[in-house]
Chain A
Amino acid sequence: MIEIRTHGRGGQGAVIASEILADAFFREDKYVQAFPAFGVERRGAPVMAFTRVSENEIRERCQIYEPDHLIVLDPILIETVNITSGLKDGGWIIINTNRDMSDSPLLDRYRIATVDANRIAVKHGLGSRATPIVNTAILGAFSSATGLVGLDAVLGAVEGFVPLKKEENALATREAYESVSTLSRK
């Protein structure tokens, strides 16, 4: 089973990201599950969402405490929330940032993929400059960096899930897929 935890802030689309990701894996004939750690819903508050993927039926119905990989929609969360709590060694951290993270101590134990999803989202008119909606872009980066799920499956899931701006979201996914940079010390 692969367990993925998504960290974001209310309004960035973390919960929907976890669901689109599950749907993408489903399109590749996997068993899937996605759900949010539900808290007080307000813009800007840290939120978490979970995705499980398996070859077999998924029976665990609880939060993910030892994820294989992380998706981080807001890089500032790295400084404010213990996002790597329980993350397995060698796991991917897919981060929305325009910073160079090649000096990050996180690389001692984990692999990092960065993508400037804010820029990509704004470019394609997703959300506003102050609060871009970055979920569809970051999933393109996830697909490209981890290779766990194909771009076509992600694009299909994006098309199925987003209610508006389907084409713009698909373009953002594709652009992030192509512009991700990966870092690893191993």
Chain B
Amino acid sequence: MKKVIMGNHAVSYGVKASGVKVISAYPITPQTQIVELLSEMCANGEIDAKFIKVESEHSALTAVVGASAAGVRAFTATSSQGLLLMHEILHWAVGARLPIVLTNVNRSVGPPWSIWTDQNDSLSQRDTGWLQLYCESNQETQDTIVQAFKIAETVRLPVMLVLDAFFLSHTYEIVDILEPNDVKKFLPPYETDIRIDVEHPHAFGNLAGPDTYFELRFMIQKAMEEARDVVKKVDAEFKEHFGRGYGVVQPYRCDDADLILVTSGTIASTSRVIIDEMRDEGIKIGSLKIRLFRPFPFDEVYEVLSKAKKVAVIDRNISFGHHGIFFQEIKSALYGRTDVPIIGYIVGIGGRDVTPKVIREIAEKALNDENPERDINWIGVKM
């Protein structure tokens, strides 16, 4: 059924459709409506799940870790400082190989306090071992939740789904809402033999000496490498069931493009307005949205970008003392494989609006600057 709903509620409907058994969360703007609606659904029996209220995000993820270790599908949502408070347990969920799904609504980190969007909260969790998927529409957000559980349970790693504060979380638009009964065929109830079971006691999270820990880390990396294909396979299967698919990257009008803009999140959506506008003017330009950030889709990125004459990476984040984080990732993906120039642009931090005009400014700079500052160009700084 199609309905006009907000991005946060699209997440809730995705969780409802996934047959989740345990939800634990601590409210934080701008994700609050996700768990607010889920707690209502739990209270009125719309979903058969236990909602566990806790006193902090650290406890929320810990409760979800416990539930997942006991062999049930479990979910949490957070933002910004909340995600940072979860940091220790983010690592734990990976080491314990728990197929948890977490939604992070990108919110800038304080101080100074900000409730508006940028990607530094989720990107600073890059090396925890969570898969990360960045969404651009409410429909994609709902659908990706359902996909995320299937991916997580296949590779036994947790998945973080990421969306922009306000520009997506609080945006109302049309969503074809998934019916739990239709989803069951795609995502059957979760069953696992590896779980805490009082009838069959096992030790979990034991001490691992130097003779075994190394191999366990090797296995996580192997699972991550395998996840690249699993994400693609699950997306293709979802498309067979529901007619919608998103890929690991999304190229737009890239085939003969001289310049390709690399984007993520809502900026990916807005940028296509400018791609069409400039194409109408005869400028050969395209865009590449990175949907899957971890594991990084090296080959798909190479395949698209190696054909361009120039690449401009748009980052709504910054690694202080280095550059934009997507910029680093793209450079690393192309290193030694092509010498296409890559230029980095920083925009939109702290929720500064990224309009079609801003994207056009970047495209024109990238096309026309003879000797651009390659690594870092700040767009719109008022200094």
A26 to B173, CA, bound (A): 9
The answer on a CB contact under 8 Å between B167 and A62 is yes
Q: In the complex, are the beta carbons of A38 and B170 less than 8 A apart?
A: yes
A contacts with B: majority SS: mixed
Answer yes or no: A3 CB below 8 A from chain B CBs. Answer: no
| Size bracket, chain B contacts | 20 to 34
A62 and B173 contacting across the interface, CB-CB below 8 Å: no
A181: Cβ under 8 A from any B Cβ: no
Within 8 A of B (CB), among A147-161: none
**Cross-chain contact of A19 among B30, B116, B164, B172 (Cβ < 8 A):** B172
List chain B residues, Cβ under 8 A from A23: 4, 172
- Interface size in chain A (residues, C-beta < 8 A): 19
**Is B353 positioned at the interface, with any CB of A under 8 Å from its CB?**
yes
In the complex, A47→B273 CA distance in Å? 27
A59 to B270, CA, bound (A): 5
Provide the bound-state CA to CA distance between A49 and B267, in Å: 20
**Is the beta-carbon distance between B4 and A19 smaller than 8 angstroms?**
yes
The verdict on B327 contacting chain A, using a C-beta distance below 8 Å, is no
- Chain B residues within 8 Å of A58, by CB: 173
Count of A-B contacts with CB under 8 A? 65
A60 to B270, CA, bound (A): 5
Is the pair B356, A62 in contact by a Cβ cutoff of 8 Å? yes
- Docked pose: A39 CA to B119 CA in angstroms: 19
CB of B326 within 8 A of chain A?
no
Residues in A whose Cβ lies below 8 Å from that of B167: 35, 61-62
Check B272 for interface membership: any CB of A closer than 8 A. yes
B80 to nearest A CB, angstroms? 14
Q: How far is the CB of A82 from chain B (nearest CB, A)?
A: 17
CA distance A35 to B270 in the complex (A): 15
A-side contacts of B267, CB under 8 Å: 61
Decide if B174 touches A36 in the complex (CB within 8 Å): no
In the complex, chain A residues whose CB is within 8 Å of the CB of B4: 19, 22-23, 26, 32, 34
**Given A23-B4, A32-B4; A59-B170 close (CB under 8 Å):** no
Q: Per-residue CB proximity of A53-72 to B under 8 Å, as 1/0?
A: 00000111111010000000
Q: How far is it, in angstroms, between the C-alpha of A38 and the C-alpha of B32 when the chains are bound?
A: 14
Which B residues form the contact surface with A (CB < 8 A)? 2, 4, 6, 30, 115-116, 136, 164, 166-168, 170-174, 266-267, 269-270, 272-273, 353-356
- A: residues with CB less than 8 A from B are 18-19, 22-23, 26, 31-36, 38, 58-63, 65
19 contacts between A and B (CB under 8 A): A23-B172, A26-B4, A31-B174, A32-B4, A32-B172, A32-B174, A33-B172, A34-B171, A34-B173, A38-B30, A59-B269, A59-B272, A60-B273, A61-B164, A61-B171, A61-B270, A62-B167, A62-B270, A62-B353
